[in-house]
């Protein structure tokens, strides 16, 4: 009997040798005359176990990891194809604590299916959301679900869609923001590589909801595999009539084009992204007008993050009520947390809002990778706050973070141990802003450069007197920048000053 | 020249054709030569200044030819937390050049990159357009450099 074996083709797995393992496995099976069916799935999001090889057995999918190509002959000797004992045997993958304690709604299929197999997609509930959407009040359902944008600003998705739906125009657009520039985040990438049809389904629902027939996915150039997979998925989905001139035979058109960014953090800001898509120099636009009313090529446009759009099919398929039941306060549903940096067990963890940072880092992450005590955690990307161990009791929800001057952003959580120098991290925040500023407004463009200089003086001259000047500069940047690039760069700087003052006095 | 003109011609009808054109040209030639700018400007009915301005806003596009291989080392915070600074310093030492520069023998261009989405398994390195590597140590970087120079 042919045994089915899964090896992820996710970027993180490939970067850790998955292609070499797949080649070694195929060769060894051939040498031994064993018939296997090799499927390249997405990643389950347990990056410390990649490459994670899974074997389908009567007991379930048994995992082995992390596997190196050199382990392959020994795995065959141990009869791993029948779940045999071996030091890398992890048991049934679905039963691993990391996975079975999650609330996987949006990422339910990622790592399980063959990402580009339409049959697999349908067999695992694919298109149920789009089918349900055809007869539904989509905008109201999304409003009722409580879904807020997962790209960072957390704006209620249904409200944005209502604005675009109610705007009169011959042409409207759906733009998927797959620029995912924040360090410490990879949820968009994991989803696009692991379940691309889900994103397309979400975009088609968005198109139906607002009356848009054209969609664009803007993927950063640093994600070559996601770009490749999404392009293939669009071709397949269009060929099957899931997208195109007559979506599912319902008489509505929705076409999708995939575009590649070119290495610019600020292109993740929605108006700069639209300028980039239009072929202009990517600088931020003043708002209003909102993109929802005047967006791409001046037409009503919804811009949403990958995870936001990919969550919509789940809401339509299961109902707004079911989705709202997850979460806490005004943070409804699940959050795709990305545990990264100096952490033992890093990866993607989808969970209802409300878990604390400590629970995430200790229970899921297993503490620091170095084994040294944790010193700081940066949440929400380069524009997010650095939090000390005393604040790890903060629940992961939008309001709790805002109350502590922090932001959840896109859900990235980066762990640092005692080796970190927080004055350097503050300097990096300013330097990053200086490198990536679009240059349109002065506080961001010039302020960030002055910020680097002031921090250098504080550190070099041991001149703590300049700290007041740094705070003043941060105030100007926060108050007078055109967008959150300059407006939020002070957050990591001020949080470093507040919680790690000793590093500025060395 | 034929190449650029053909690329520009084949893409100019797309909505927002500039970015696809620049990618296609750089994929083909390894950089976006100055000679491409007037062709693009004419095709898109823009001024040359506008095209120059747009190209300059992106870190990915290069106006001069680079080395045979481009080594992009992640400088993001999550990789910093996993020892990426040591890898970056090692790269500068070994290659004898800084970021945004090419080695004296012309084989390798060193570039920074801000996150490759491998943040739980850094330090991360991208070789050319699609060669992803995680958990890169200084010794691992040496192996990538050797491979780029065709040595083993
Ligand atoms: C400097 C900057 C960078 C941003 N980068 C991203 C990004 O990479 N991905 C993203 O989805 N949103 C990003 N945003 C937020 C977008 O402007 C916008 O709020 C979001 O795409 C809306 O989608 P959502 O409502 O689904 O979150 C960024 C914002 C700023 C100010
Ligand atoms: S920070 Fe280096 S890969 Fe994300």
Instruction: Write the ipTM.
Output: 0.97
Which among B19, B23, B119 has CB closest to A340?
A: B119
Q: What are residue A55's phi and psi, to 5 degrees?
A: -120, 130
Q: Tell me the chain A residues in contact with residue B82 when contact means C-beta distances shorter than 8 Å.
A: 341-342, 369
Whether residues B78 and B138 share a domain: the answer is: yes
- Element holding A355 (H helix, E strand): none
Give the pLDDT score at A22: 98
Tokens of A237: 């989905």
Are A342 and A425 a contacting pair, CB within 8 Å? Answer: no
**Best interface-test mutation with B: which of A184, A275, A361 has the largest number of B CBs within 10 A?**
A184
What is the Cα–Cα distance from A138 to A134, expressed in whole angstroms?
8
Tokens of B19: 């970015």
Say whether B17 and A279 touch across the interface (CB within 8 A): yes
pLDDT in tens, chain A (506 residues): 799 999 999 999 999 999 999 999 999 999 999 999 999 999 999 999 999 999 999 999 999 999 999 999 999 999 999 999 999 999 999 999 999 999 999 999 999 999 999 999 999 999 999 999 999 999 999 999 999 999 999 999 999 999 999 999 999 999 999 999 999 999 999 999 999 999 999 999 999 999 999 999 999 999 999 999 999 999 999 999 999 999 999 999 999 999 999 999 999 999 999 999 999 999 999 999 999 999 999 999 999 999 999 999 999 999 999 999 999 999 999 999 999 999 999 999 999 999 999 999 999 999 999 999 999 999 999 999 999 999 999 999 999 999 999 999 999 999 999 999 999 999 999 999 999 999 999 999 999 999 999 999 999 987 778 999 999 999 999 999 999 999 999 999 999 999 999 999 86
Say whether A16 and B134 touch across the interface (CB within 8 A): yes
What is the Cα–Cα distance from A185 to A164, expressed in whole angstroms?
29
Tokens of A211: 């009356």
For residue A454, CA distances in Å to A279, A426, A430 come to 36, 11, 10
- Element holding A154 (H helix, E strand): none
- Element holding A20 (H helix, E strand): helix A18-32
Sheet holding A301-305, edge to edge: A255-260, A214-219, A173-178, A301-305
**What part of A 93-152 touches B (C-beta under 8 Å)?**
none
Q: Tell me: the pLDDT tens digits for B95-143?
A: 999 999 999 999 999 999 999 999 999 999 999 988 999 999 999 999 9
Using DSSP, state whether A73 is helix, strand or coil.
helix
Which among A12, A279, A415 has CB closest to B19?
A: A279
Contacts of A399 (CB under 8 A, 6+ apart): A329, A330, A331
In a domain, B138, yes or no: yes
The structure tokens 């018939």 sit at A35
In a domain, B126, yes or no: yes
Whether residues B83 and B50 share a domain: the answer is: no
Say whether B121 and A50 touch across the interface (CB within 8 A): yes
- Element holding A61 (H helix, E strand): strand A60-64
A160-A165-A169-A170 Cα dihedral, nearest 10 degrees: 120
Looking at residue A284, the DSSP 8-state letter turns out to be P
Say whether B19 and A428 touch across the interface (CB within 8 A): no
Whether residues B92 and B139 share a domain: the answer is: yes
What is the Cα–Cα distance from A309 to A311, expressed in whole angstroms?
5
Whether residues B73 and B144 share a domain: the answer is: yes
Give the pLDDT score at B2: 52
- Name the CATH superfamily, with its identifier, for domain A3-94: Glutaredoxin (3.40.30.10)
Q: A486 CB near a chain B CB, below 8 Å? A: no
The structure tokens 């797959």 sit at A178
Give the pLDDT score at A461: 86
For chain B, the domain total comes to: 2
- Element holding A157 (H helix, E strand): helix A157-166
Whether residues B86 and B127 share a domain: the answer is: yes
Supply the residue whose CA is at minimum distance from atom 29 of ligand 1: A269
CATH topology of domain A327-417: Ubiquitin-like (UB roll) (3.10.20)
In a domain, B63, yes or no: no
In which residue ranges of chain A is CATH 3.40.50.11540 found?
118-324
**Best interface-test mutation with B: which of A19, A46, A180, A183 has the largest number of B CBs within 10 A?**
A183
Q: Report which bound ligand comes closest to the CA of A301.
A: 1
**Best interface-test mutation with B: which of A340, A415, A426, A491 has the largest number of B CBs within 10 A?**
A340
Task: Kindly give the distance from the C-alpha atom of residue B76 to the centroid of ligand 2, in angstroms, as a whole number.
Answer: 5
Q: What are residue A473's phi and psi, to 5 degrees?
A: -60, -45
- Please work out, in degrees rounded to the nearest 5, the angle formed at the alpha carbon of residue B130 by the alpha carbons of B126 and B134: 40
**Best interface-test mutation with B: which of A66, A192, A215, A262 has the largest number of B CBs within 10 A?**
A262
Say whether B44 and A261 touch across the interface (CB within 8 A): no
CA A305 to chain centre: 9
Distance from CA of A85 to the nearest CA of B (A): 27
Which among B79, B121, B130 has CB closest to A12?
A: B121
Taking alpha carbons only, the member of A383, A378, A379 closest to residue A486 is A383
For residue A281, CA distances in Å to A124, A355, A439, B52 come to 42, 41, 11, 9
Q: What is the 3-state secondary structure (H, E, C) of chain B?
A: CHHHHHHHHHHCCCCCCHHHHHHHHHHHHCCCCCCHHHHHHHHHCCCHHHHHHHHHCCCCCCCCCCCCEEEEEECCHHHHCCCHHHHHHHHHHHHCCCCCEECCCCCEEEEEECCCCCCCCCCCEEECCCEEECCCCHHHHHHHHHHHCCCC
- pLDDT classification of B72: cutoffs 50, 70, 90: very high
Distance from CA of A189 to the nearest CA of B (A): 7
Does residue A51 have a cis bond before it (omega within 30 degrees)?
Answer: yes
Is domain A422-504 annotated with CATH 1.20.1440.230? Answer: yes
Q: Tell me the chain A residues in contact with residue B53 when contact means C-beta distances shorter than 8 Å.
A: 281
Contacts of A126 (CB under 8 A, 6+ apart): A109, A118, A197, A198, A201
Q: Report which bound ligand comes closest to the CA of A305.
A: 1
Taking alpha carbons only, the member of A396, A415, A417 closest to residue A407 is A396
CATH number for the domain spanning B81: value is 3.40.30.10
DSSP string, A127-140: THHHHHHTTS-HHH
Sheet holding A60-64, edge to edge: A36-39, A3-6, A53-57, A60-64, A89-92
Pick the CATH number of A118-324 from 3.40.50.11540, 2.60.120.560, 3.40.50.300, 3.30.360.10: 3.40.50.11540
Say whether A12 and B129 touch across the interface (CB within 8 A): no
Q: Report which bound ligand comes closest to the CA of A487.
A: 1
Say whether B82 and A342 touch across the interface (CB within 8 A): yes
Measured in residues, chain B has a length of: 152
Structural domain including B26 reads 4-57
Residue A397 bridge partners (DSSP): none
Q: Tell me the chain B residues in contact with residue A15 when contact means C-beta distances shorter than 8 Å.
A: 116, 118, 121, 124, 132-134
Which among B58, B117, B129 has CB closest to A189?
A: B117
In a domain, B62, yes or no: no
List, as own/partner pairs, every contact residues A448-456 make where C-beta atoms lie below 8 angstroms and the sequence separation is at least 24, other chains included. Answer: A448/A477, A448/A486, A448/A489, A451/A477, A451/A489, A451/A493, A452/A427, A455/A423, A455/A426, A455/A427, A455/A430, A455/A493, A456/A427
Task: Kindly give the distance from the C-alpha atom of residue B114 to the centroid of ligand 2, in angstroms, as a whole number.
Answer: 7
Which among A263, A277, A339 has CB closest to B16?
A: A277
Say whether B120 and A347 touch across the interface (CB within 8 A): yes
Contacts of B150 (CB under 8 A, 6+ apart): none
Whether residues B98 and B143 share a domain: the answer is: yes
Distance from CA of A333 to the nearest CA of B (A): 24
C-alpha count within 13 angstroms, C-beta hemisphere, residue A121: 23
Q: B51 CB near a chain A CB, below 8 Å? A: no
Q: A280 CB near a chain B CB, below 8 Å? A: yes
Give the pLDDT score at B1: 47
Say whether B19 and A221 touch across the interface (CB within 8 A): no
In a domain, B125, yes or no: yes
- Element holding A301 (H helix, E strand): strand A301-305
In which residue ranges of chain A is CATH 3.10.20.600 found?
327-417
Helix then strand then coil, % of chain A, to nearest 5: 45, 15, 35
Size of the A and B interface in Cβ pairs below 8 Å: 160
Q: Tell me the chain B residues in contact with residue A182 when contact means C-beta distances shorter than 8 Å.
A: 115
Taking alpha carbons only, the member of A140, A192, A69, A156 closest to residue A321 is A140
Taking alpha carbons only, the member of A407, A9, A348 closest to residue B119 is A348
- pLDDT classification of B62: cutoffs 50, 70, 90: very high
Question: Which residues does a 6 A CB cutoff place in the pocket of ligand 2?
Answer: A 183; B 74, 76, 78-79, 115-119, 122, 124
Task: State the pairing for strand pair B131-133/B125-127.
Answer: antiparallel
The structure tokens 């300013």 sit at A430
The structure tokens 């990915």 sit at B60
């Amino acid at each position: 009997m042919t045994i089915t074996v899964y090896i992820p083709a996710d970027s993180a797995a490939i970067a850790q040798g998955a292609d070499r393992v797949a080649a070694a496995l195929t060769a060894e099976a051939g040498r031994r005359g064993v018939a296997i069916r090799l499927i390249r799935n997405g990643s389950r999001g347990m990056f410390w176990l990649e490459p994670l090889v899974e074997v389908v057995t009567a007991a379930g999918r048994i995992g082995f990891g992390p596997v190196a190509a050199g382990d392959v002959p020994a795995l065959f000797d141990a009869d791993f194809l029948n779940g045999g004992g071996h030091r890398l045997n992890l048991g049934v993958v679905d039963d691993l604590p990391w996975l079975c304690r999650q609330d996987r709604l949006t990422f339910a299929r990622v790592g399980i299916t063959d990402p580009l197999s339409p049959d697999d997609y349908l067999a695992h509930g694919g298109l149920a959301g789009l089918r349900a959407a055809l007869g539904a009040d989509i905008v109201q359902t999304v409003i009722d679900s409580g879904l807020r944008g997962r790209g960072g600003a957390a704006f209620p998705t249904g409200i944005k869609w209502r604005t675009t739906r109610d705007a009169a125009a011959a042409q409207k657009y759906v733009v998927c923001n797959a620029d995912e520039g924040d360090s410490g985040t990879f949820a968009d990438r994991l989803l696009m590589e692991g379940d691309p049809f889900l994103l397309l389904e979400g975009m088609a629902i968005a198109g139906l909801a607002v009356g848009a027939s054209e969609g664009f996915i803007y993927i950063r150039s640093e994600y070559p595999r996601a770009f490749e997979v999404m392009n293939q998925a669009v071709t397949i989905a269009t060929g099957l009539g899931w997208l195109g001139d007559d979506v599912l035979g319902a008489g509505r058109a929705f076409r999708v084009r995939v575009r590649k960014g070119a290495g610019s953090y600020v292109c993740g800001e929605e108006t700069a992204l639209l300028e980039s898509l239009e072929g202009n120099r990517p600088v931020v636009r003043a708002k209003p007008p909102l993109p929802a009313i005047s967006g791409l090529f001046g037409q009503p446009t919804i811009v949403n993050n990958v995870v936001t759009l990919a969550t919509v099919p789940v809401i339509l398929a299961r109902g707004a009520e079911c989705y709202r039941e997850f979460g806490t306060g005004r943070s409804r549903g699940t959050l795709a947390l990305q545990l990264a940096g100096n952490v033992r067990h890093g990866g993607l963890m989808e969970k209802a809002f409300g878990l604390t940072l400590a629970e995430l880092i200790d229970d899921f992450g297993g503490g620091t990778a170095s084994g040294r005590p944790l010193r700081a955690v940066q949440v929400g990307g380069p524009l997010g706050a650095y939090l000390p161990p005393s604040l790890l009791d903060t629940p992961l929800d939008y309001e709790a973070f805002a109350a502590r001057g922090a932001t959840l952003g896109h859900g990235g959580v980066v762990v640092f141990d005692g080796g970190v120098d927080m004055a350097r991290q503050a300097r990096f925040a300013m330097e990053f802003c200086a490198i990536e500023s679009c240059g349109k407004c002065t506080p961001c463009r010039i302020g960030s450069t002055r910020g680097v200089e002031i921090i250098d003086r504080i550190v070099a001259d041991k001149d703590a007197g300049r700290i007041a000047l740094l705070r003043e500069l941060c105030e100007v940047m926060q108050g007078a920048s055109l967008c959150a690039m300059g407006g939020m760069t002070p957050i990591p700087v001020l949080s470093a000053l507040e919680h790690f003052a000793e590093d500025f006095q060395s | 020249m034929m190449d650029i003109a053909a690329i520009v011609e084949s893409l100019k009808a797309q909505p927002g054709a500039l970015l696809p054109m620049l990618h296609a040209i750089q994929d083909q030639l390894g950089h976006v030569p100055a000679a491409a700018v007037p062709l693009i400007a004419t095709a898109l009915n823009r001024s040359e200044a506008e095209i120059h301005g747009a190209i300059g806003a992106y870190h990915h596009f290069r106006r001069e030819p680079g080395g045979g291989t481009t080594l992009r080392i992640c400088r993001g915070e999550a990789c910093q937390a996993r020892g990426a600074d040591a890898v970056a310093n090692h790269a500068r030492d070994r290659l004898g050049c800084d970021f945004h520069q090419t080695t004296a023998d012309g084989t390798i261009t060193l570039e920074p990159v801000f996150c490759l989405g491998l943040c739980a398994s850094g330090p991360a390195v991208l070789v050319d357009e699609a060669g992803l590597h995680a958990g890169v140590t200084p010794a691992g970087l040496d192996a990538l450099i050797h491979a780029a120079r065709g040595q083993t």
